[in-house]
Structure formats: structure tokens, C-alpha cells
Chain A
Amino acid sequence: MAGGTLKQNAWLGPIVQAGACLLFLFRMLAGLRPRAEQILSILQQTYLIGARSLVIIMICGFFVGMVLSLQAINALEQFGASDQVSLLVGKSLFRELGPVLTALLFAGRAGTSVTAEIGLMKATNQIEAMELMAIDPVQRIALPRFAAGLISVPLLTAMFNALAILGSVVFAIGVMGLDAGIYWSKLQTGVYFGKDFLGGVYKSIVFGGTVSLIAVYFGYSARPTGAGVGTATTNTVVLSSVLILIFDFIMTSYMT
């Protein structure tokens, strides 16, 4: 059998997996319907995997903002340019750190839980029960979680950025005593809406889709055992993290 031969070639394994993952994505999207039940399910999952990730994202964002300011002030004051701190923080945050760190945190917090949940549903025959009831588990289980991830990551990135700016303000103005007017005016004039802000938004959408697709696919294709679910969960974090950084480089190289 052709599929079997392909699977036996170790170097073709990742390509076969990527193909299967894309087919899984098409299968999900083919079932997208504007039905009240499906929309409700997506909103429910957005709350469960998105809203519940908010606290960790906000805490991390706040401290990333503080540490960025600390490092920036230390470096810039050697050149007498510590008033440029908001420019450095803003650009690095909106373009890179916000989308990347939010997606990495989301993969660890929500991606793993989605993979484990779907894997356990498989191990406890819930997926099989659904198929036998003539209910498509891809539409019922995978699609709402994928869509919820796609919606959540850009929103979480916005919250991460907002809290990081707050952390930066607290440290730079509150602790280091920089001038608030200069801080805000440099941020306003130096950070561009299209190139910096929207660039980060596009990245967060791609990262959200990538992490969510990997999470639902690995959960759905997990071996229905404890070890199988554990392996799938680990794979979700590892592959999501690697792909986020690879896609970040590719997108950045096209955007700049």
C-alpha cells in the first residue's frame, strides 16, 4: 500500500504528517456552518481556552514589560539616550515579543490541555461513540477548539502588549523616574500602526492558527493510551514552539 510505504520511510514521516495535518484542517473548514449551535460551541471554547489563559498572559506581559525597560534603560543610558526606552520597548513588543511570547505561553497553557482533552476522549471511546451516532467528531470536537484558538491568540496578544506597556511605564516612570510626557510621545511617534502594530496582529493570527491546528490534530491522532496521550501533549508543545519561531522569522523577513 502506498501510504504504508510512505510511513515506513523515516525521512518522509514529517511530510506525511504535515499532509495529514493539512487534510485535517480542510476537513474542519469544510464543516464550518453559521449554525447557532456551532457558534455557541466556539464561544464556549473561547472562554475555556482563551479567557482562562488571561491571568497567566497578563502576569507574564507585565513582567516582560518591566524587564524590557530595565534592560533598555541600562543599555541606552550609556549613550545618554534613556528617554528612547519607550520606542525600544514598543517596537520590540508589538513586532516580536508580544505575538511570539503569547503564542508560546498559549501553546503551553491551552494547546496542551486541548491535546490531552481530545486524546482522553479518544482513549475513553467518546470519539468512537460520536462516530457511531453519525455525529462527525471533527466538527463537534476539533473545529470549535481550533476556531477558539484562532480567535483567542490575537486577543491575548493585545492583552499581553497592554500589560507589558503598563509594566514598562511602572518601571521606567514610577521606579526610574523618566519623564512621562517624553515616554508617551516617543511611543506615539515612533511606533507605526501599519508596520509595527498590524504586523504583530498578522503574526498572532498565524501563530494562533498554527498552535490550535497542531493541538487538535495531535489530540485527534493520539494513540488511545495514557502513554499515547502524554506523547501527543509533549509533541504539541515542542512542535508549536519550533514552528512559531520558524514562522516568525519567515514573516519578519517578508514584512521588513
Chain B
Amino acid sequence: MESSALGQAATPEPVIRIRDLVFRRGAKTILDGISLDIHRGTIVAFMGPSGVGKTTILRLISGQLTPDSGTIEVGGEDVARMTAGELQRFRRNIGVLLQDGALFTDLTVFENIATPVREHTDLPEALVRRLVMSKLSAVGLGGIEDRMPHELSGGMARRVAFARAVVLDPSIMLYDEPLTGLDPIAVSTIRTLMRETNDALGLTSLVVTHNVAQMRQLVDYCFIISQGRIAGAGHPDELGASADPAVDQFMNGKVEGPIPFHYQPSGAAWGLLD
């Protein structure tokens, strides 16, 4: 099944083009022949139950994992065929917000945001400071630059991580469960930041989540992953009314359906319980 996420500022050539993507862990097939296109300017969500391979897709796109077969083209370049140097250059153009923020615990807020700038540019210190402070105030946290990560609330840490992710003005943003574990105000704040930044800078944003309600108000397009394949694709509102049993079960939170509640163990001993 080939799906396409067309945004408001859609361009003829997709920014990310995935074809026949297969990824296995040992004998288990995690992703089984996924094909999709993602266009510039869109916020796209990968949704599905836990452990279905959503984060694996982000890791394949960022080049942390290599597919068993199929291609992942980002900006026309196949990520799996990039050399180590090319991968480094490619990643400078990507901003990533991981679950819990993943701030460097041995550095202050200022140093956290300044780290990628110092690593990848030769900007003078005065300019680094101005850049970091402008990003900090853009996320509404001016004045906390000297604090350590353990002195921040969960929402503040996530906003600092967001400032760090966008400090080099990437063209693609990857979010892994960006709203998990936050209070409703922090959720709205981060969601607004994601939308405004995406639209203002013309980014392409990929969000991995299993929270349907939060994504309804944020994303332009959504892929539902189930059993290694794309079970459904479209706007979350359309998917909520889908006739596909797996999509209907996930989007509407139903217990009964093709996505099993019980883990399916292998082996004769467990078969005796049936």
C-alpha cells in the first residue's frame, strides 16, 4: 500500500519517499513492505499501538538503523547508502525531540542549546549567545539559561529540548512521543510551538505517538501502523470513521478487534491454556 501525505504547501517531489521498506529484528518482521511519501510543510504522525515499530521508522529515516530491504530517500538521497560523513552532514539538517527531552544532564540549559551550534559552526561566542537566547525566549523560557536540567519541570525540559532541536534551523523535525507525560498546559504549549515552527520555517515534521486525541489538533496527515504495515492513512478525523477494523479499533480505543490485547507466546506449554 502506497500512501501520500500532501500538505498545504505541497510540492510535486516528496521530501521523504519510502518504498517497500522491510525491517526485521532476528526472526521477527517489524516493518513489512511500507511505502509512503511525505511532502514539505506537513506535520505527519505515525500512530499505532505500542511496540508496533513507529519509533523504528524514525530511526530508519535518521539513519540509526538500516533496512533489510527497500529504500528511504530524504531530499532525493538514499539514507541507507550514505557514508558516515554524509550521514553526519545529513543529520545536521534534522532536528530531533526525543521522549523526555534527553537534555545533557552535565550541562546548563544554555550549554545544552549551544552544543550543536558550537559543534557545527564557527560562530563567535557573542553570536552563539544571541542565537541561544533568541531560541530560549521563542519557547518562552528566557532567564533560565543558567539552570541545570534537574532544576526544570517536565514541560520546561521539553521546551528547552525543543529549542535545542531547532537551534540550527533544520528542514526536518522528528518527534518521538513529544507530549507524553506532560500536563495539559504544557501539552498545548509544545503543540503550539510545533505547529508555529513548522509553518513559519516551512519544515517537514514527523511525529511518533499513540495519543489520538492530542494528534487530532496538530497533524495534517496520519499513518496508522499495524502488524508491520500501513493499516490506514489520512487526517485523524477521517481515520476515526474508517471501516478498517484495525484502524477503527485503534482510533476509537476499542478492546475488541484485530489488534490483540494478549501477548501471543510461542511454544507448546502456552498452547495448553487454549
Question: A134 is contacted by which of B92, B98, B106 (Cβ under 8 Å)?
Answer: B92
Complex Cα gap A130–B115 (Å): 9
Would you call B118 and A37 a contact (CB within 8 A)? yes
Chain A interface mostly: helix
Question: Pick the contact of A129 from B89, B92, B96, B120 — CB < 8 Å?
Answer: B96
Known A-B contacts A124-B100, A126-B103; the reply to A131 vs B64 at CB < 8 A is: yes
Tell which of B94, B96, B102 touches A126, judged by Cβ atoms closer than 8 Å.
Answer: B102
Residues of chain A from 104 to 142 with CB closer than 8 A to chain B in the complex: 117, 120-121, 124-126, 128-135
Per the 8 Å Cβ criterion, residues 39-97 of B in contact with A are: 62, 64, 87-89, 91-92, 94, 96
Residues A128 and B105 in contact in the complex (CB < 8 Å), given A133-B96, A134-B88: no
Assembly CA distance A124 to B161 (angstroms): 13
Q: How far is the CB of B79 from chain A (nearest CB, A)?
A: 13
CA–CA, A125 to B178, complex, Å? 14
Minimum CB–CB distance for B195 against chain A, Å: 22
Q: Is the CB of B119 within 8 A of A135?
A: yes
Closest chain A residue, CB of each to CB of B176: A125
Return the contact of B91 from the options A37, A124, A125, A134 (Cβ within 8 A): A134
By the criterion of a CB under 8 Å from any partner CB, how many residues of chain A are at the interface?
A: 15
Tell me whether A128 and B98 are in contact in the complex, defined as CB-CB below 8 angstroms, given that A134-B119, A134-B120, A135-B116 are known contacts: yes
- The reply to whether B119 and A132 form a contact with Cβ atoms under 8 Å apart is no
Whole-angstrom CA separation of A135 from B92 in the bound complex = 9
CB distance from A147 to the nearest CB of B (A): 16
CA distance A117 to B116 in the complex (A): 21
On whether the beta carbons of B94 and A132 are closer than 8 Å, the reply is yes
Query: By the criterion CB–CB under 8 Å, are B105 and A126 in contact?
Result: yes
CB distance from B106 to the nearest CB of A (A): 8
Which of A117, A120, A131, A132: most chain B CB closer than 10 A?
Answer: A132
Query: Which residue in A117, A125, A135 is a CB contact (below 8 Å) of B98?
Result: A125
Question: Quick check: A125 and B64 within 8 Å, CB to CB?
Answer: no
What's the Cα separation between A132 and B118 when bound, in Å?
15
Q: Mark A12-40, 1 if CB is under 8 A from B, else 0.
A: 00000000000000000000000001000
Please name all residues of chain A whose beta carbon is closer than 8 Å to the beta carbon of B94 when the two chains form the complex. Answer: 132
Interface residues of B in 89-139 (CB under 8 A from A): 89, 91-92, 94, 96, 98-100, 102-106, 115-116, 118-120
Distance between Cα atoms of A110 and B98 in the complex (Å): 30
User: Are B102 and A129 in contact (CB-based, < 8 A)?
Assistant: yes
Give, as a whole number of angstroms, the nearest-CB distance from A35 to chain B. 10
* A129/B98 in contact, CB under 8 A: yes
Chain B residues, CB < 8 A from A128: 64, 98, 102
How does the 8 Å CB contact mask read for A36-73 relative to B, with 1 for contact and 0 for none?
Answer: 01000000000000000000000000000000000000
> CA separation between A130 and B64, bound complex, in Å?
12
CB-defined contacts of A129 to chain B, threshold 8 Å: 96, 98, 102, 104
Residues in chain A near residue B88, CB distance under 8 A: 134
- A–B pairs, 6, beta carbons within 8 Å: A37-B118, A121-B104, A126-B104, A129-B102, A133-B92, A135-B116
List of 8 A-B pairs having minimum Cβ-Cβ separation, nearest first: A129-B102, A125-B102, A134-B91, A132-B96, A134-B88, A133-B116, A125-B98, A134-B92
Known: A132-B98, A133-B116, A135-B115. 13 other contacts (CB 8 A): A121-B104, A124-B100, A124-B102, A124-B105, A125-B98, A128-B98, A128-B102, A129-B96, A131-B64, A131-B91, A133-B119, A134-B89, A135-B119
